[in-house]
Amino acid sequence: MNNYFVRRILQIIPVLLIISFIVFSLVFVAGDPVALMLPDDASQEDVELLRESLGLNEPFLVQYGTYVANFVQGDFGESYRYGQDAMSVVLERLPATLELAIAALLIALVISIPLGIWSATKQNSGIDLIATGAAVLGKAMPNFWLGIMLILLFSVSLSMFPVSGRGTLAHLVLPSITLGTGIAAEMTRLIRSSMIETLNQDYVRTAKSKGLKNRIVVYKHAFRNSLIPVITITALQTSTLVGGTLITETVFSWPGMGQLLIQAVNTRDMAIVQASVFVIALLVILMNLIADLLYRLLDPRIKYN
């Protein structure tokens, strides 16, 4: 078991290196931000002068080499836009994004676990159809559209929640519903099929054939065992969840990493892009690692090697 996890953790290193290379190459191809920093009517000469002053004329490998050397020491360089250490800018924004993502995940779990189980136990019934339909609807509504509609309905018309920004718990409600809906839809479907699979397992069938009440079978046996895949399913949503914050944060002007990233990409703030992709990737990898660990701890059928 220990060996397995040591190996898993060591595997993170090449993964992070590959990611840094991919992102660095992309940003390099993207060109430097100098032209974007100057006013709209700057001439090419103005651009060249500033570029020279900032030392941005080095070739690719030299820049990448410098980058990796610094990266190993935990230095992601300085953000052009903020004139500050990129990693500290990113970390400053991390709590806001985590707050939103966790709230959205909770909402998704609250919706998807009962809905998934319920529709699985009543396969092909009207309830199943409604649950599936709702899940599809949740999946088919683009986040930005849903967010704007929620604002128009609950903030402008009903004055129930604040429109945007971060602060009280009330501020969290609409953005987390927006972000959580799509995830909930996906998870409902996954939980439903995982539950159906469990219900078809031999021991559940045996329990049923022994004459145990359906409800007891469902909750005592099937539900418990289908919770284990829920952990994996949840972890797999991390990436979608973080990706979703890009949109949700923009709609609700939530001051998290998503907005920071969009700004950074638009302004070619390479250091910020690098640092935030690194943080997001690490987050996704760790979530999956933890899920893996939990899965193995909880399911006695899996052997460690």
Q: Is 289 in the site for other proteins (CB under 8 A)?
A: no
Q: Is 255 in the site for other proteins (CB under 8 A)?
A: yes
Q: Is 279 in the site for other proteins (CB under 8 A)?
A: no
Q: Is 273 in the site for other proteins (CB under 8 A)?
A: yes
Q: Is 232 in the site for other proteins (CB under 8 A)?
A: no
List the interface residues with other proteins, window 149-208 (CB under 8 A): 149, 151-152, 155-156, 159-173, 176, 193, 196-197, 200
Q: Cβ-count burial of 254 within 10 angstroms (0-12 exposed, 13-18 middle, 19+ buried)?
A: buried
Q: Is 91 in the site for other proteins (CB under 8 A)?
A: no
Q: Is 129 in the site for other proteins (CB under 8 A)?
A: yes
**C-alpha to C-alpha distance for 50 and 62, rounded to whole angstroms:** 20
Q: Minimum Å distance from CB 192 to other proteins?
A: 9
Part in contact with other proteins (CB under 8 A); list of ranges 62-70, 209-217, 275-283: 275-283
Q: Is 124 in the site for other proteins (CB under 8 A)?
A: yes
Q: Minimum Å distance from CB 212 to other proteins?
A: 18
Q: Minimum Å distance from CB 72 to other proteins?
A: 17
Q: Is 82 in the site for other proteins (CB under 8 A)?
A: yes
For other proteins, give the closer residue by CB, 47 or 293: 47
Please select the residue that binds other proteins; options are 115, 131, 261, 291, rule is CB under 8 A. 261
